[in-house]
Amino acid sequence: MDKLRLDDVPDYSELLTSIVKSEGKVKLKHLAFLSVLAFTGCRIGEAINLKWDDLDFKGRTVRIRQEKKKGEFLRKVPVPSDFFWEMMGRLKERRRTSDRPFDFTQRNGRYIVYSLTKKLIKKRYRPHAIRHSYATYIMKKTKDMEVVRRLLGHSDYAIIRAYMNYSQEDLESELRGALSQAIRTD
Query: 25-51: per-residue pLDDT in tens?
Result: 999 999 999 999 999 999 999 999 999
Bridge partners, 67 (sequence order): 72
Residue 171 buriedness (CB in 10 A; 0-12 / 13-18 / 19+): exposed
Q: Give residue 172's domain range.
A: 6-179
* 186: in domain: no
Q: Which amino acid is at 111?
A: Y
Query: 137-173: per-residue pLDDT in tens?
Result: 888 888 788 888 888 887 776 666 666 655 555 667 6
* 30: in domain: yes
Q: Which amino acid is at 42?
A: C
| CATH number for the domain harbouring residue 75 | 1.10.443.10
Q: How many CB atoms lie within 10 A of CB 110?
A: 15
